[in-house]
Amino acid sequence: MATKYGTRKQYLSAISGLQKRGIRVLADIVLNHRMGADKTETLQARTVDPSNRSRILQDLHPVTVWTDYEFPARQGKYSNFHWHWRHFTGTDCTDAHGSRSILMFEGKNWNPHVSGELGNFDYVMGADVDFSSEEVLQELYTWGKWYTETTGVNGFRLDSLKSIDSHFFPQWLAAMHATGNHPDLTLGEYWSGDVFVLKNYLNDCQRCMRLLDVPLHYHLQQAAASNGHYDIRHLFNYTLTDTDPDHAAAFVDNHDTQPGQALESWVMDWFRPQAYASILLNRSRMPVVFYGDLYGLRRGNPPVPFLREMMWIRAHLLTPNIVDLYDEDPQKACWMAWGPHPVIVLFTIADWKQQTVSEPRLAGRTLVDITDPVNTPAFDRQGQVTITCRPGGLAVYVLKEDWQKLQKAAGRFQ
């Protein structure tokens, strides 16, 4: 049976096609909740305060809710497991008057080891999966192994981690790693701008995954909206990329942060090239590029300028040997990636900037700014060069011969 995204055959073909081209595939896994039940069930539940899920507003009372998942079209082909209300901690429900309530089922409690936001952030939407149920745990292991063996994915992107018991993942991911294609890369979405909350979660889950660096995302948003008043020298302070780079995944924006979405926090368009330079050409060990920034968005946003070029530079020129070239100017960012193919980045959140760089080993060599190719400063005999950046702009300097290689590769970007 086809979905709106295609058939099973097309799905598996897309995965194998990407892998044949050297692209590792992550599966976006949503384990926290279920929606679209086949039937209703009548049971006893308590109504909880939506702003404090630990507070009971109404004690046990009868409710009829959508919690019966029998999958009749499946006819037991892939699994004979049927989900019922006992496999969930609660759900939401709209009464005859259109009022929506959060319900916690009789004999249930919200799972521990989740975010303390709103009292307990176990519940998000739909029918909330009970990770304390042995039947549920067995099914999640069975399903995970079947899915991993069937698809051969290389890893996972885990959704809504702040609402899932952190103690579940170390063993589950270890079991998946021993299965099928042995997926060994996991990227988790725990939405918090507090780096200490993220570090606590990493400790709780035994550091079995990387987390999206939400604090860095918010720093990028704040820098863009600051009208030049953000101290760009502190961009990475209190971020996972700075404090725990091996477990961080830096990003600028994603599907959830777009205008109109629940987590709207869009980085202003003028700053997006600088933001991507910060995660692609600096110390981030796993930068994430948003599809909409690479190919453009239907709502009218074009691809981010120079994004493909920066991706090429990271893949072919960049080394992890980053040398900071910051000075007393809080509006200017500057650093160099030293190596056989040096890369120098200069950007500003205000007016025109310049920076003098000394590197005797580059005496006589010519640089090219990929964002303005007529800008070609050269190191003098002593190995000094002064580079510049336009107001509110980005400059990325590479050696002239590396620029020529980039130009040859540019035809493949189209």
Catalytically active residues, by annotation: 159, 189
Q: Which two tokens stand for residue 98?
A: 């259109």
Q: Which amino acid is at 357?
A: V
Strands 287-288 and 322-324: unpaired
* Helical residues (DSSP H) of 178-280, grouped into ranges: 195-204, 214-225, 240-243, 272-280
Q: Which two tokens stand for residue 135?
A: 């039947």
Q: Which amino acid is at 358?
A: S
How far, CA to CA in Å, does 168 sit from each of 31, 114, 117?
Answer: 11, 11, 19
Count the residues in the chain.
Answer: 414
CA distance 66 to 69: 8
Of 176, 168, 174, whose CA–CA distance to 142 is shortest?
Answer: 176
DSSP 401-413: HHHHHHHHHHGGG
CA distance 241 to 249: 7
CA distance 278 to 274: 6
The pair phi, psi for residue 236, each rounded to 5°, is: -95, 0
Per the rule left: phi > 0, alpha: psi between -120 and 50, beta: everything else, 110 is beta
Rg for the chain (alpha carbons), in Å?
25
366 CB burial (10 A radius; 0-12, 13-18, 19+): middle
